[in-house]
C-alpha cells in the first residue's frame, strides 16, 4: 500500500490494498477516525475473520469495554458476512448498535440515534422468535432497550457519551 494518496496529472493515487481496492492506510483512533499519516493509531481489526458465534460475542464485548465500538462493529460485520442467512439480521443489528455508539461518541447525535434505533429494531426481532432462535446468549431485548434509551439521551441533550462508559453488556 502506498503511504498516502499522491496527485499525478490531476488524479489522486489512492492507498490500495493487495487486491487493488481503495483502502486508506491512515492510522485510526479508537473510534475509527482517521489520523494523520505517521501518527500512532489503534491497531485495526483484521477483515474477513470467521469466528464461532461465541467468540464473536466475546471479542466484540472486549472491544466495547475498551471504548472501541467501531472495531466491535467490524467484528460483527465479519459475522454477518460469513454466518448463516437466517442470522444475518442479528449480526447486522449488533453491528449497527456498535456503529451507532461510535457515531454518538464522535458527537454525531442524529446519525448515532438513527443507527441505534435501526439496530435495536433488527436485534429485537430475535426476542420473539421462540426457543429455536439462535442468539448465542446475547440479551437482545436488553440491548434494544439500551439502544433506544441512549438514542433518546443523545438526541434530547446532545450528549456525547464516553464509548467505554456507555458500552452495553451483550450477554445476559
What tens digit of pLDDT does each residue of 49-66 get?
Answer: 999 999 999 999 999 999
Tell me: the pLDDT tens digits for 135-158?
Answer: 899 999 999 999 999 999 999 987
Query: The pTM is what?
Result: 0.84
Tell me: the pLDDT tens digits for 77-99?
Answer: 999 999 999 899 999 999 999 99
Class at the top of the CATH hierarchy for domain 53-166: mainly alpha
Q: What is the pLDDT of residue 2?
A: 44
Q: What is the pLDDT of residue 1?
A: 43
**Does residue 8 surpass a pLDDT of 90?**
no
- Where exactly does CATH 1.10.3450 map onto the chain? 53-166
Mean pLDDT, the chain, whole residue set: 88
- The three state secondary structure string of the chain is CCCCCEEECCEEECCECCCCCECCCCCECCCCCECCCCCCCECCCCCCCCCCHHHHHHHHHHHHHCCCHHHHHHHHHHHHHHCCHHHHHHHHHHHHHHHHHHHHHCCCHHHHHHHHHHHHHHHHHHHHCCCCCCCCCECHHHHHHHHHHHHHHHHHHCCCCCHHHHCCCCEC
Q: What is the pLDDT of residue 130?
A: 60
Amino acid at each position: 500500500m502506498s503511504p498516502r494518496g499522491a496527485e499525478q496529472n490531476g488524479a489522486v493515487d489512492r492507498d490500495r490494498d493487495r487486491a487493488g481496492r481503495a483502502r486508506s492506510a491512515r492510522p485510526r483512533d479508537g473510534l475509527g477516525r482517521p489520523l494523520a499519516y505517521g501518527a500512532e493509531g489503534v491497531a485495526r481489526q483484521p477483515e474477513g475473520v470467521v469466528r464461532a458465534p461465541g467468540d464473536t460475542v466475546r471479542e466484540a464485548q472486549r472491544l466495547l469495554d475498551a471504548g472501541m465500538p467501531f472495531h466491535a462493529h467490524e467484528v460483527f460485520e465479519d459475522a454477518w458476512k460469513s454466518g448463516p442467512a437466517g442470522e444475518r439480521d442479528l449480526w447486522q443489528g449488533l453491528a449497527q448498535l456498535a456503529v451507532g455508539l461510535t457515531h454518538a461518541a464522535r458527537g454525531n447525535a442524529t446519525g448515532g440515534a438513527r443507527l441505534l434505533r435501526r439496530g435495536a429494531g433488527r436485534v429485537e426481532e430475535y426476542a420473539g422468535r421462540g426457543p429455536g432462535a439462535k442468539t448465542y446468549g446475547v440479551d437482545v431485548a436488553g440491548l434494544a432497550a439500551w439502544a433506544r434509551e441512549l438514542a433518546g439521551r443523545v438526541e434530547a441533550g446532545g450528549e456525547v457519551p464516553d464509548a467505554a462508559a456507555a458500552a452495553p453488556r451483550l450477554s445476559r
